């Protein structure tokens, strides 16, 4: 008799996914699938941005205003989510304390790729008026890679919407396939 391998269904799906992905990455079929689908996936990614809002102070209010009917960020495909596992953009505003830094990094690590970070306001960019404080991190880019900076104290809702438009342009320019990464 031959060898029998027993899998739980969850383990089998994980194993089969890894094998199939490996085969597609190394074969011309994977390149063909990427060629056919990368424009569609790029369009879908840039027109459905799901930010995770991490706001602490004044800029959090401006972010809320950008979501309100007057500015209507949803017309650009921006829909706020409340869990990092459903988000692709981390929107940080307000001063980040040293005690809060590990939790913010954990949120970033829990987000699936591709992911982007927007630092909104002077507090998130450089610590703002609290830059010289013993307990405030002088900018979120000290421990998380930031893609877009929005200056201001507080940053205006128009600036936030402009940042989302710039993010959409950045995503459009970086077309990559899902399988081969090219």
User: What is the number of domains present in the chain?
Assistant: 1
- Would you say residue 18 lies in a domain? no
* Weakest mean pLDDT among 2-16, 83-97, 104-118: 2-16
Half-sphere exposure of 177 (CA within 13 A, CB side): 16
pLDDT of the residue at 176: 67
Asked whether the predicted pLDDT for residue 4 surpasses 70, the reply is no
Average pLDDT over residues 26-45: 77
- Rounded to 5 degrees, φ, ψ at 133 are -80, 145
Q: Which domain does 133 fall in, by range?
A: 46-173
User: Please, which pLDDT band fits residue 111 given cuts at 50, 70 and 90?
Assistant: very high
- Point out which residues pair with 49 in neighbouring strands: 78
- Would you say residue 33 lies in a domain? no
CATH number of the domain residue 68 falls in? 3.40.50.12280
pLDDT of the residue at 179: 55
- Would you say residue 10 lies in a domain? no
- Quote the mean pLDDT of the chain: 85
- Would you say residue 169 lies in a domain? yes
- Would you say residue 178 lies in a domain? no
Tokens of 95: 């001063």
Range 176-179, long-range pairs (CB < 8 A, 24+ positions) = 176/38, 177/31, 177/33, 177/34, 177/35, 177/37, 177/38, 178/33, 178/34, 178/37, 178/38, 178/41, 179/21, 179/24, 179/25, 179/30, 179/31, 179/33, 179/34
In eight-state DSSP terms, residue 157 is H
- Would you say residue 116 lies in a domain? yes
- Would you say residue 2 lies in a domain? no
Distances (CA, A) of 13 to 16, 23, 62, 99: 5, 15, 44, 39
Query: What is the spatial distance between Cα 21 and Cα 139, in angstroms, rounded to a whole number?
Result: 38
The strands making up 148-150's β-sheet, listed across from edge to edge, are 51-55, 89-93, 116-120, 148-150
pLDDT of the residue at 130: 87
- Would you say residue 96 lies in a domain? yes
Average pLDDT over residues 34-59: 83
């Amino acid at each position: 008799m031959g060898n029998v391998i027993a899998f739980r269904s969850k383990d089998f799906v994980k194993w089969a996914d890894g094998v199939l992905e490996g085969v597609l990455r190394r074969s011309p079929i994977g390149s063909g699938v990427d060629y056919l689908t990368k424009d569609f996936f790029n369009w879908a990614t840039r027109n459905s941005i799901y930010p995770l809002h991490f706001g602490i102070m004044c800029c959090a209010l401006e972010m809320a205003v950008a979501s309100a009917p007057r500015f209507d960020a949803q017309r650009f495909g921006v829909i706020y989510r409340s869990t990092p596992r459903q988000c692709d953009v981390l929107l940080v505003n307000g001063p980040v304390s040293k005690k809060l830094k590990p939790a913010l990094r954990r949120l970033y690590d829990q987000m699936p790729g591709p992911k982007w970070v927007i630092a909104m306001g002077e507090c998130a960019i450089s610590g703002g008026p609290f830059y010289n404080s013993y307990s405030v991190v002088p900018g979120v880019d000290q421990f998380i890679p930031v893609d877009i900076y929005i200056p201001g104290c507080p940053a205006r809702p128009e600036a936030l919407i402009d940042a989302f438009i710039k993010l959409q342009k950045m995503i459009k320019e970086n077309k990559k396939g899902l399988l081969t990464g090219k």
